[in-house]
Amino acid sequence: MSKKLFVLVALLVIVSALLAACQPAEPETIEVVKTVVVEKEGKTVVETVIVEVTPEVVEPEAAPVPVTLNWNWGTEPPTADPALATDTTSVDLIRNLFVGLTQFDPVTAEVIPYLATSWEQGEDEEGNQTWTFTLRDDIAWVNYDPTTGETVQVTDADGNPRFVNAHDVVYGVKRTLDPATGSDYAYVLYIIKNAAAVNGGEEGFTLDDIGVEALDDWTVRFTLENPAGFFPSIAGMWVASPMPQWAIDEWGDKWTEAGLIVTNGPYVMESWIHGSELNLVKNPLWIDADNVQIERVEGVMITEASTAFALYENNDLDTTGVPLPEIDRVKADPELSAQLYNAPVPCTYYYGFTNTKPPFDDPRVRKAFSMAIDRQSLVDNVTKGGQIPATSFAPPGIFGAPEPGTVGLGYDPEAAKAYLQEYLDEKGMTLDDFNAMDITLMHNTSEGHALIAAAIQQMWKDVLGVDVRVENQEWKVYLNTIKNSTPVEEMPHIWRLGWCADYPDENNWVHEVFNVEAGANRLRRGCVDPNCEEVVPSKFDELTFQAQQEQDPAKRAELYREAERILAEEETAYAPIYHYTAVNVTKPWLTRNFPPLGGNDFFNWTIDMDAKLAAQGQ
């Protein structure tokens, strides 16, 4: 008996020593009081001793590699603050971190519920249009703690967990409109009652005058300056997001740094090394967390498109853009061409005519120049990205946008020649006289714009026989040159610009860009004098105002179609060139969507991690 016990104890000691040696990291030993049976001087006694034991450590099973997306942000996002974002990189980041009141359907681009489950239109006592949004009550405000690696729900001063509520929305809207915030995009909220006055710092207006209020914790009501049927799509914009007042009050401008930032969306910010990398991890408390498959987003910031493409070819990135010089190679390569996709981008590339500068003060000249552009040939041979040739302004996916090619002037060399000849005959000019007017096309300095300008310059030469001089200027100098206050003598005749959707409605397009009263009107339409001190609205301008207030969607679409037609066909105030695309390659193991309005929603993507690891040779 005693011998057996002795052997048993001895065995246990040896085994435990062996086990201890096997463990990779040395676990701490702890002291334990134990009763043991020992043999002493030939006798078996029971003794109480203090022994050091190693606590049993359960070897964890090798954790599976998290589903990781290798992403290139392309540049340092200028901000993660919803009130301040103006660029696509920041907006991409924000839509993965924050929830909006509404969102756009990733397939149809319709406005669908998000934070708000429903909304209805009404009228206040003074007859102003109101929009009342009912919010869901289960979206948590969360913070990622870099020291523990955990995402925790934020609590208020009393220790209650914080959920996104109507007051956060009200605060967010007021913060964007507060002049002290200095938000570039505050103006898209000017449709809200008194918003422009408050943001403009008008006497007698305070933040409380803005037409937004929380009726209760889960209901928020907006009062508008003018009726706007498209308001639900504006309400979903990042500048109207709910924002965490307590965190912003505590940290000031630094509140968006990793570790401090409080968010409420599908992902949380794990780390952000400015200029170098920004990583996201899935928010486990997100309402739809079960359907978010990608657990980590490792994002680098490679500006150089050819380097990003090399990283892609090396399996270091899962999706990226294709630089122009590589497009032909990608199309020819059987493997890469299968990964190629031309994603729509809601932007339009156009040439503006200075409508008050001779000879472009005559619609026949503008028509001739627009109809002499072979847009299909330009897209096939120069830009090569499957862009959509444009004959009207708003691209597909925007509410009210005509189907491309159905409205406006296409390529028609004979008609173009005829229009120009008619103008020359009437003025008693020859082509040489016309060319002596030194027609100038200007664009901002960029290789891509230069290629396009050279191609179109040649088309004008071939079709019309006109000589056009191409000039370029650095971006900000250029924007300064083509602004409305530039004297007409210093304006180029033709200039290049692009326009991208803020929200998917024609109001954001023809009205905000071209309307002589409400829009930027760089084209100098309807001007009484060449420098456009005074303007006279035309049919087009009336139509866009009318469409803004119209409640019936079918009628609105019809009004916009007519406005687009007048602008492109009758007035030909500008020449649309193409609707943008993003030329993209995606690895076969990544399933991603390309929403019609652009944007990268990692929470809607999935990765076959086994295939990815196999390809990386791990």
Partner 1 sequence: MTKYIIRRILGFIPVLFVIVLFTFVLMRSIPGGPFDFAGDKSLPPQVVANLEAKYHLDWPMWKQFLSYLIGDDLLGEEGTSRGIIRGDLGISLRYRSQTVNDIIKTTLPISAQLGIMSLTLALLIGIPAGIVAALNQNSWLDYTSTFIAIVFLSVPNLVLAPILIWVFALKLGWFPVATWAAKPPYLLGFLPQLDQLNLNYFKHAALPVFALGTSFSASIARLTRASLLQVIREDYIRTARAKGLRERSVIVVHALKNSLIPVVTVIGPLFAAVVTGTFIVEQIFGINGMGKHFVQSIGNRDYQIITGVTLVYGVILVTANLLVDIAYAWLDPRIRYD
- Pick 304 or 570: Cβ nearer partner 1: 304
- Pick 306 or 549: Cβ nearer partner 1: 306
| Beta bridge pairs of residue 221 | 132, 213
Told to check if 269 binds partner 1 by CB under 8 A, we report no
Question: Which residue, 243, 242, 280, 291, is CA-closest to 258?
Answer: 280
Distance CA 407, CA 400 (A): 12
Number of residues counted as binding partner 1 (CB under 8 A): 57
Rule CB under 8 A: choose which of 67, 247, 268, 300 binds partner 1. 300
Distance CA 343, CA 583 (A): 6
Rule CB under 8 A: choose which of 34, 331, 483, 555 binds partner 1. 483
**Amino acid (1-letter code) at residue 372:** A
State the binding string over 49-78 for partner 1 (x if CB under 8 A, else -): ---------------------------x-x
- Pick 253 or 380: Cβ nearer partner 1: 253
Tokens found for residue 558? 């019809």
Residue 334: CB minimum distance to partner 1, A: 18
State the binding string over 82-121 for partner 1 (x if CB under 8 A, else -): --x-xx----------------------------------
Is residue 392 within 8 Å of 401, Cβ to Cβ? yes
Is residue 238 within 8 Å of 82, Cβ to Cβ? yes
Distance CA 311, CA 303 (A): 12
Rule CB under 8 A: choose which of 196, 247, 278, 441 binds partner 1. 196
Tell me which stretch binds partner 1 (CB under 8 A): 161-169, 198-206, 209-217, 286-294: 198-206
Residue with tokens 């905000």: 512
Tokens found for residue 367? 């028509």
- Angle at Cα 349 formed by Cα 344 and Cα 355, nearest 5°? 150
Which spans in 194-279 are helix H?
A: 195-199, 231-235, 245-251
- Pick 146 or 498: Cβ nearer partner 1: 498
- Pick 182 or 428: Cβ nearer partner 1: 182
Reported as type and span, the H/E element at residue 350 is: strand 340-353
Rule CB under 8 A: choose which of 182, 204, 428, 487 binds partner 1. 182
Told to check if 328 binds partner 1 by CB under 8 A, we report no
- Pick 91 or 468: Cβ nearer partner 1: 91
State the binding string over 493-532 for partner 1 (x if CB under 8 A, else -): ----xxxx-------------------x------------
Distance CA 213, CA 225 (A): 15
Question: Which residue, 452, 399, 461, 400, is CA-closest to 580?
Answer: 452
Tell me which stretch binds partner 1 (CB under 8 A): 32-40, 62-70, 469-477, 536-544: 469-477
At 255 the three-state DSSP class reads helix
Rule CB under 8 A: choose which of 79, 96, 143, 283 binds partner 1. 79
Is residue 599 within 8 Å of 92, Cβ to Cβ? yes
Residues constituting the chain: 618
Tell me which stretch binds partner 1 (CB under 8 A): 199-207, 546-554, 576-584, 594-602: 199-207
Q: What letter would DSSP give residue 303? A: -
Tell me which stretch binds partner 1 (CB under 8 A): 98-106, 250-258, 563-571, 598-606: 250-258
Tell me which stretch binds partner 1 (CB under 8 A): 299-307, 361-369, 541-549, 583-591: 299-307
Told to check if 6 binds partner 1 by CB under 8 A, we report no
Told to check if 467 binds partner 1 by CB under 8 A, we report no
Reported as type and span, the H/E element at residue 212 is: strand 212-216
Helices 363-371, 413-427: crossing angle, 10 deg rounding: 150
Residue with tokens 């491309």: 404
Told to check if 491 binds partner 1 by CB under 8 A, we report no
Residue 278: CB minimum distance to partner 1, A: 12
Told to check if 469 binds partner 1 by CB under 8 A, we report no
Classify residue 582 as exposed, middle or buried by CB count within 10 Å of its CB (0-12, 13-18, 19+). middle
Told to check if 256 binds partner 1 by CB under 8 A, we report yes
Tell me which stretch binds partner 1 (CB under 8 A): 222-230, 361-369, 470-478, 524-532: 470-478
Is residue 177 within 8 Å of 210, Cβ to Cβ? yes
The residues binding partner 1 (CB under 8 A) are 76, 78-81, 84, 86-87, 179-187, 190, 196, 199-201, 253-257, 273-276, 300-304, 306-308, 310-311, 313-314, 316, 474-477, 479-481, 483, 497-500, 520
